[in-house]
Structure 1
């Protein structure tokens, strides 16, 4: 019985470690891109990464893997029949998102602000999300979960 408990605990720790590693892997892989675009557009890195992480399930969604689409942006694609737009690479997806944000009415007011809650509310309310309140709550949970 004791050996069973120890094995169970070891499996749990291994699973948990792998999950944290996968989360950190996505963040580490795209943090440089998000930081560069944050400096260019005045959108906090944490906002860019949190939204990308949530929209892709940490890089596991088919839109991310097949279409390089990290933000669930809709539009034409020449890869498959999905409603999601395809991008030549991940950086193009990140840039398209920042450009989309920069064209919204709230952008000039928030540009340069580091208050992620204000950004989440503004982005959600601008039509990015069909359920703004739930979307913002999920983003705050994602931020805490992945340590942003």
Structure 2
């Protein structure tokens, strides 16, 4: 019985350590790129909460292979000269963020939502536009990220 209790405590401790480490990584990501999202929000009329939440989800808060090797924080498809992935490479994180905003600004949803700060409207419209292959799951992830970090 004692061994089982110690094993349970060890597993719980590892889980909590992982959870808090991930939350800290996401908070650090937000702190690092909030300025870019704010600048682009003013320029494009897309809420910074939307820009940041999508970047967090799509890049694993900057931990994905595409974000690390290609500076691609949104899963944008295109050519790259670095590896054989289908993701586009960018010279900087800012360039990736700008490409995402430009991509949204070319969609029909943009003219209806520009300067609208209601994140729910944006999330639903982006999901409906075909941005994600699993829209319901994607909507939940984006909304959870916005709420969790108060974006």
Q: Same fold (TM over 0.5)?
A: yes
Q: 2:85 is paired with a residue of what secondary structure?
A: coil
Pair 1:103-2:121 in alignment: no
Residue in 2 that maps onto 1:79: 82
Q: 1:98 is paired with a residue of what secondary structure?
A: helix
The structure 1 residue matched to 2:25, chosen from 13, 18, 22, is 22
Q: Distance in 1 between matches of 2:60 and 2:80?
A: 21
Shift of 1:135: 1.1
Superposed CA deviations along residues 69-94 of structure 1, whole A, max 9, x for unmatched, are: 00000010111000000000000000
CA RMSD between the two structures: 2.2
Q: 2:101 is paired with a residue of what secondary structure?
A: helix
* Matched ranges for 1:1-148 at <5 A: 15-148=18-151
Please report the TM-score for the alignment, with normalisation by the length of structure 2.
Answer: 0.87
Q: Distance in 1 between matches of 2:13 and 2:130?
A: 45
Please report the TM-score for the alignment, with normalisation by the length of structure 1.
Answer: 0.88
Q: 2:127 is paired with a residue of what secondary structure?
A: helix
Q: Distance in 2 between matches of 1:33 and 1:20?
A: 21
- Residues paired across the two proteins, number: 148
Q: Distance in 2 between matches of 1:66 and 1:102?
A: 26
Q: Distance in 1 between matches of 2:32 and 2:24?
A: 12
Gapped regions of structure 2 (runs ≥ 5): 1-6
